[in-house]
């Protein structure tokens, strides 16, 4: 368990670590001051249980009125910055899935999940199981009790990985990805065609290898900027991370964060902007 300024991270047990990245819980009291939060894109799928007030959220620079979380919702793969506000009497648990964890729980091709759409998991599956689970969780006295029940459900319902997904997961760590030709590198290691690699990536993960490597580079850029004590040398950054020019870099910032690099430094850096926590 890791406590943050607002929320608390709970790691998944070892038996579920390949499926669930972590649980993130936020609970606030009536006197809490309304606080905006910005979560950087991660291509991750999240399942959210909300036991408190509706949580306003939007993607990119969209209006808050577009989406509100009530009871149980699911979103992702997260391709745009998630903007939300933590309100007084917020009470949520967010389950973030690892790699093909969504597929292993729902047995639905992840590519069917639409970007910037909020899903009701019961409607997605045609069941009432998540509504019943929410009711059970809502009656529990502590966050730890709730996490325990969610872990028990994970053990009961998460399926083993399909054989054809295993080669995609081998060496999935960021540092092992060939940024220039990701599909070719994975295909060679797995003895598959590049087309088959792309098809399986979209089925199990919900995105292509090209999307993955583009985001991984962008995450490295953000991490680099966050560590700078002096003014950022944008030309040097462009060269260091293999962008064609500054307009190429700006294109990524506008796509992922709906802003420019300089505005990001001025308006987000050092405030309530978060990058998805690395896998434990």
The range of the structural domain enclosing residue 252 comes to 210-274
Residues 13 and 141 in one domain: yes
Q: What is the CATH number of the domain that holds 66?
A: 2.60.120.10
Q: What is the CATH number of the domain that holds 232?
A: 1.10.10
Determine the pLDDT at residue 43. 94
Nearest CA-CA partner of 212 in 254, 240, 246, 178: 178
Q: What is the per-residue DSSP string for the chain?
A: -EE-SSEEEEEPPGGGTTTEEEEEEEE--TTPPPEEEEE------EEEEEEEEEEEEEETT--GGGEEEEEEEEE-S--S-EEEEE-TT-EEEEEEEPTTHHHHHH-S-GGGSPTT--B-HHHHHT-SHHHHHHHHHHT-SSHHHHHHHHHHHHHHHPPPPPGGGHHHHTT-SGGGS-SS-HHHHHHHHHT--HHHHHHHHHHHTSS-HHHHHHHHHHHHHHHHHHH-SS---HHHHHHHTT-SSHHHHHHHHHHHHSS-HHHHHHHTTTTTEEPPPPP-
Determine the pLDDT at residue 175. 43
For residue 279, is it within any domain? no
Residues 225 and 134 in one domain: no
Task: Compute the distance between CA of residue 5 and CA of residue 57 in angstroms, rounded to an integer.
Answer: 20
Determine the pLDDT at residue 188. 79
Residues 6+ apart with CB under 8 A from 229: none
For residue 172, is it within any domain? yes
Beta bridge partners of 26: 7, 92
Task: Compute the distance between CA of residue 280 and CA of residue 267 in angstroms, rounded to an integer.
Answer: 29
Q: Determine if the pTM surpasses 0.85.
A: yes
pLDDT of the chain, 280 residues: tens digit per residue: 544 457 899 999 999 999 999 999 999 999 999 998 999 999 999 999 999 999 888 898 777 655 677 899 999 999 999 999 999 999 999 999 998 999 999 999 999 998 888 999 999 888 889 999 999 999 999 999 999 999 999 999 989 888 888 777 764 554 445 555 567 777 777 788 888 888 989 999 999 888 998 999 999 999 999 998 889 999 999 999 999 999 999 999 999 999 999 999 988 877 788 887 665 4
Q: How many domains does the chain have?
A: 3
What's the farthest any 2 CA atoms get from each other in the chain?
58
Residues 46 and 141 in one domain: yes
Determine the pLDDT at residue 6. 78
Determine the pLDDT at residue 161. 87
Q: What are phi and psi of 36, to 5 degrees?
A: -75, 145
């Amino acid at each position: 368990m890791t406590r943050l300024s607002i929320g608390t991270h709970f790691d998944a047990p070892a038996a579920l670590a390949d499926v669930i990245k972590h649980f993130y819980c936020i609970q606030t009291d009536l006197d809490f001051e309304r606080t905006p939060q910005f979560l950087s894109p991660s291509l991750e799928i999240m399942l959210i249980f909300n036991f408190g007030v509706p949580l306003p959220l939007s993607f990119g620079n969209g209006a808050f009125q577009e989406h509100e979380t009530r009871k149980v919702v699911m979103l992702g793969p997260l391709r745009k910055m998630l903007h939300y506000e933590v309100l007084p009497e917020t009470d949520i648990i967010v389950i973030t899935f690892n790699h093909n964890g969504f597929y292993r729980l729902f047995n639905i091709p992840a590519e069917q999940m639409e970007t910037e759409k909020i899903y009701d998991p019961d409607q997605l599956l045609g069941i009432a199981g998540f509504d019943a689970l929410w009711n059970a969780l809502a009656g529990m006295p502590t966050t730890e009790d709730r996490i325990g029940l969610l872990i028990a459900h994970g053990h009961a319902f998460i399926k083993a990985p399909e054989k054809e997904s295993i080669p995609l997961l081998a060496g999935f760590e960021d540092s092992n990805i060939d940024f220039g030709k990701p599909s070719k590198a994975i295909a060679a290691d797995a003895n598959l065609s590049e087309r088959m690699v792309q098809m399986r990536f979209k089925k199990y993960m919900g995105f292509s290898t090209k999307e993955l490597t583009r985001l991984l580079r962008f995450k490295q850029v953000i991490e680099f900027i966050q560590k700078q004590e002096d003014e950022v040398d944008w030309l040097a950054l462009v060269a260091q991370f293999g962008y064609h020019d500054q307009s190429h870099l700006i294109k990524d910032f506008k796509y992922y964060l709906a802003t420019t690099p300089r505005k990001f430094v001025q308006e987000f850096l050092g405030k309530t902007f978060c990058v998805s926590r690395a896998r434990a």
